[in-house]
């Protein structure tokens, strides 16, 4: 099983995730091509290497038209009410461009937006809803606006779903803090172009890395206070603290805000648990923040394979019989299982007591996710009981390569045994998107990708 262990000794933010995925080997051209499928114009992504206390890392800035990247040591840029007497207020260690911890997000109070604006109009691309707000401002959007942008993009379904989840988590957290339903939360900074790119870019990086199961280290949350449009708030801010519930955290003192709501939402959407199982890392990536901290201001992602769970026979099959549930619910339940980290999920038609047709839900998972998936099966189905039992399996080693076709870049999943390629399959979502954009049948893209992969192996080049 592919594992990503996300280490946060200096907190987490959207731009740090972008840098870490790219530094861990995600193909930058393929990543940029995926971002281009998002109908949000008016920005540029800048990538450059930097040094953080002797560690080389990638720094990623999302620069919106008319703006400049937030500079290191420039707390409170574009923020109203900054108090220079509070040295730890509103100092973001990561340079989420104009992300101010979520505290100057604006909310729907009878239809009136409160707070400041940055002074730049951004035009909308195809499929993008108009922004809310008045005059010259960064776009103000509600959750349905952002979901509309995602739903009308050509992004792969897993990227859309993870991005939707991250934004919904943000809306729920802000809503709890301010006593509003998620749909009425009025995003200001988090609805801006740069934050959308941060979240979608982080999920695109995860997707291009092979959609690994993600675990997170204890998270440095910073300390002190931050002044915002709602007043002086503790660090981590209330919405960030809610997003981090259930994840391991600690504070080294008054470092200011080290975890932005964007970073917390990405962690929550990707990671189900804390410490990773035993695994062998084969790739490491560092994503840099902006300011200097007592530790290297980086987020580290270590990628590798965990074969120990399989060798130990600690895989589990979960089963639930249902005969009173619509098929649409079953499809939703299967997707939920996969989103929660199931290795596989499927349905078998069965005949139940009294000759009634029914279905049997099956889930394959590792031991760490068993209990959570059992609970989710109870929540998402009408079954009154879930059976589970341990199984063993023989699993081929898997990796991803990216090949170039006349219709665009396509990832191919390669399965190997003792270093020999046994199976290879082009990724369906990549083929679907390439086929739709090129106007050719899906099977044409699939066959072209497979032929290119086989040609590379015949030439002795295993791909990227």
- d(C-alpha 388, C-alpha 239), whole Å: 36
Q: What is the DSSP letter of 182?
A: G
- d(C-alpha 168, C-alpha 157), whole Å: 16
Residues 93 and 209 in one domain: yes
Residues 124 and 16 in one domain: yes
Residues 240 and 101 in one domain: yes
CA distances (Å), origin 329, targets 108, 325, 332: 32, 7, 5
Percentages helix, strand, coil for the chain, rounded to the nearest 5? 30, 30, 40
Note the pLDDT tens digit of each residue in 398-424: 788 888 999 988 999 888 887 788 888
Collapsing DSSP states into helix, strand and coil, what is residue 187? strand
- d(C-alpha 279, C-alpha 417), whole Å: 18
Alpha-carbon torsion 175, 178, 183, 187, what sign? Answer: negative
- d(C-alpha 59, C-alpha 304), whole Å: 23
Which residues have a Cβ under 8 Å from the Cβ of 461 and sit 6 or more positions away?
none
Collapsing DSSP states into helix, strand and coil, what is residue 370? helix
Residues 425 and 281 in one domain: no
DSSP state string for 375-396: HHHHHHS--S--EEEEE-----
- d(C-alpha 274, C-alpha 402), whole Å: 30
DSSP state string for 35-74: HTTSS--SEEEEEEEEEETTEEEEEEEEEETT--PPPTT-
pLDDT for 267 equals 94
Residues 55 and 146 in one domain: yes
- Residue pair 426/449 in contact (Cβ under 8 Å)? The answer is yes
Which residues have a Cβ under 8 Å from the Cβ of 14 and sit 6 or more positions away?
94, 96, 99, 195, 198, 199, 201, 202, 260, 262, 263, 266
pLDDT for 29 equals 92
Residues 340 and 253 in one domain: no
- d(C-alpha 269, C-alpha 198), whole Å: 13
pLDDT for 346 equals 95
Identify whether 464 is part of a domain: no
pLDDT for 309 equals 44
pLDDT for 290 equals 87
- d(C-alpha 59, C-alpha 51), whole Å: 9
Residues 31 and 163 in one domain: yes
Residues 295 and 186 in one domain: yes
Identify whether 463 is part of a domain: no
Residues 269 and 337 in one domain: no
Which residues have a Cβ under 8 Å from the Cβ of 20 and sit 6 or more positions away?
6, 57, 58, 205, 285, 286, 287, 298, 299, 300, 301
Widest distance between CA atoms in the chain? 75
Identify whether 38 is part of a domain: yes
Residue ending a domain, among 362, 391, 420, is 391
pLDDT for 178 equals 78
- Flag residues of the chain having pLDDT under 70: 66-140, 186-191, 229-230, 272-276, 307-314, 459-464
Which residues have a Cβ under 8 Å from the Cβ of 397 and sit 6 or more positions away?
305, 415, 416, 417
Residues 270 and 124 in one domain: yes
The domain that holds 442 is classified in CATH as: 3.10.20.300
- d(C-alpha 421, C-alpha 152), whole Å: 37
What's the pTM value of the predicted model, to 2 decimals? 0.61
Residue ending a domain, among 305, 339, 367, is 305
Q: How far is CA 133 from the centre of its chain?
A: 28
Structural domain including 228 reads 2-305
Residues 343 and 233 in one domain: no
- d(C-alpha 49, C-alpha 23), whole Å: 9
Residues 213 and 283 in one domain: yes
Q: Which tokens hold the place of 228?
A: 């915002």
- Residue pair 401/390 in contact (Cβ under 8 Å)? The answer is no
Domain tally, the chain: 3
pLDDT for 273 equals 58
Residue ending a domain, among 391, 406, 440, is 391
- Which candidate, 215, 219, 248, 211, places its Cα nearest to that of 368? 215
């Amino acid at each position: 099983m592919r594992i990503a262990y996300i280490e946060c000794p200096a907190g987490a933010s959207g731009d740090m995730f972008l840098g870490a995925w790219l530094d861990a080997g995600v193909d930058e051209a393929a990543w940029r091509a995926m971002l281009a499928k998002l109908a949000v114009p008016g920005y540029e992504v800048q990538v450059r290497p930097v040094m953080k206390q002797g560690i080389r890392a990638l720094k990623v800035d999302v620069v919106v038209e008319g703006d400049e990247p937030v500079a290191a040591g420039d707390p409170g840029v574009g923020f109203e009410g900054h108090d220079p007497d509070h040295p730890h207020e509103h100092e973001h260690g990561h340079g989420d461009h104009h992300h101010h911890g979520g505290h100057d997000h604006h909310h729907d109070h009878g239809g009136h937006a409160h707070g400041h604006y940055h002074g730049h109009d951004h035009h909308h691309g195809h499929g993008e809803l108009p922004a809310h707000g008045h005059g010259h401002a960064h776009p103000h959007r509600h959750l349905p606006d952002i979901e509309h942008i995602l739903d009308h993009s050509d992004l792969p379904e897993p990227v859309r779903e993870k991005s939707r989840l991250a934004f919904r988590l943000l809306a729920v957290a802000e809503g709890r803090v301010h006593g509003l339903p998620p749909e009425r939360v009025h995003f200001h900074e988090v609805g801006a172009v740069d934050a959308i790119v941060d979240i979608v870019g982080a999920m695109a990086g995860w997707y291009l890395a092979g959609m690994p199961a993600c675990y997170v280290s204890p998270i440095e949350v910073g300390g002190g206070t931050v002044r915002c449009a709602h007043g002086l708030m503790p660090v981590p801010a209330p919405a960030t603290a809610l997003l981090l519930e259930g994840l391991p955290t600690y504070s080294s003192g008054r470092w200011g805000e080290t975890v932005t709501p964007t970073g917390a939402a990405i962690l929550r959407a990707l990671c189900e648990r804390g410490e990773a199982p035993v695994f062998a890392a084969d790739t490491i990536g560092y994503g840099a923040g902006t300011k200097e901290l007592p530790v290297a201001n980086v987020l580290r992602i270590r990628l590798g394979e965990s074969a120990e769970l399989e060798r130990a026979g600690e895989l589990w099959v979960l089963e639930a019989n249902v005969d009173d549930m619509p098929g649409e619910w079953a499809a939703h339940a299967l997707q939920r299982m996969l989103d929660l980290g199931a290795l596989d999920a499927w349905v078998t038609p069965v005949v139940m007591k009294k000759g009634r047709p029914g279905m049997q839900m099956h889930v394959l998972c590792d031991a760490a996710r068993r209990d959570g998936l059992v609970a989710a099966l109870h929540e998402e189905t009408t079954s009154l009981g879930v059976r589970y039992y341990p199984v063993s399996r023989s699993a081929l080693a898997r990796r991803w390569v990216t090949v170039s076709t006349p219709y665009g870049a396509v990832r191919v999943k390669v399965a190997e045994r003792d270093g020999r390629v046994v199976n290879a399959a082009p990724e369906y979502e990549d083929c679907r998107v390439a086929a739709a954009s090129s106007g050719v049948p899906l099977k044409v893209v699939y066959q072209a990708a497979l032929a290119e992969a086989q040609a590379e192996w015949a030439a002795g080049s295993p791909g990227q």
